[in-house]
Amino acid sequence: MPRRGTRQGLAGFPPAVPASVRRKGRQMSILNSLVTALTGGGAGGASKGGTLANIARVAMRNPQLLAVAAAMFTSANKHGGLTGMIDKFKQHGLGDVAQSWVGEGESKEVNADQIREVFGEQGIERIAQKSGATPQETPDLLASVLPGLVNMLTPGGRTPPQAEAPKSSEDVLAMLQNMLRGR
């Protein structure tokens, strides 16, 4: 309980805590609930199959990489969010793969070499640095989560307009959390 006369900031942090620390705290809280739900410790479970199981494995191994991957699909992403990501795969001859993630049918797999081709070595290095993963493991981890994230962000096989896109990685992770709760 806060002392009399003290204010509580967002997510229970005192107002003096920088916004970046408060944001990371909210993000980790969402990631912790996702891991619980995806591994069967909560309402969700992992019964939906490989896609959610892959997200769970990455969330347990490197939750920050899941947050970094989620940020790629936000409207704030300089590369165009979800639409930009799908276009990037198309530019590298993998449009049919990315489009399968949007549709409601079976999602095609992507491998680490294809991820390296799409993002380039510098892109992989940046993602690794932001997530704390090694550049060697980053492509495999991304290959595990990107299909599921795209599928989740395109309900009914519809790519939402950029104006309706999630604004932050926390929004994307909260969408995943809400989807799991609804099962």
pLDDT tens per residue, range 49-68: 457 777 877 878 888 888 89
CATH class of the region 20-181 = mainly alpha
| Domain residue limits, the chain | 20-181
pLDDT at 34: 57
How far, in Å, CA of 155 to CA of 104, rounded?
A: 8
Q: Give me the pLDDT at residue 25, please.
A: 56
109 and 147 in contact (C-beta within 8 Å)? yes
Task: Report CA-CA distances (Å) from 56 to 33, 34, 41, 163.
Answer: 11, 8, 12, 29
Return left, alpha or beta for 156; rule: phi > 0 is left, psi -120 to 50 is alpha, else beta: left
> Which pLDDT tens digit goes with each residue over 101-126?
997 788 899 999 999 999 999 999 99
Arithmetic mean of pLDDT over the chain: 76
Query: For residue 133, is pLDDT > 90?
Result: yes
User: In angstroms, rounded to a whole number, what is the distance separating the alpha carbons of residues 60 and 179?
Assistant: 18
| pTM, full prediction | 0.72
User: Is the pLDDT at 5 greater than 50, yes or no?
Assistant: no
Tokens representing 77 are 């992403």
Overall average pLDDT of the 126-151 stretch: 93
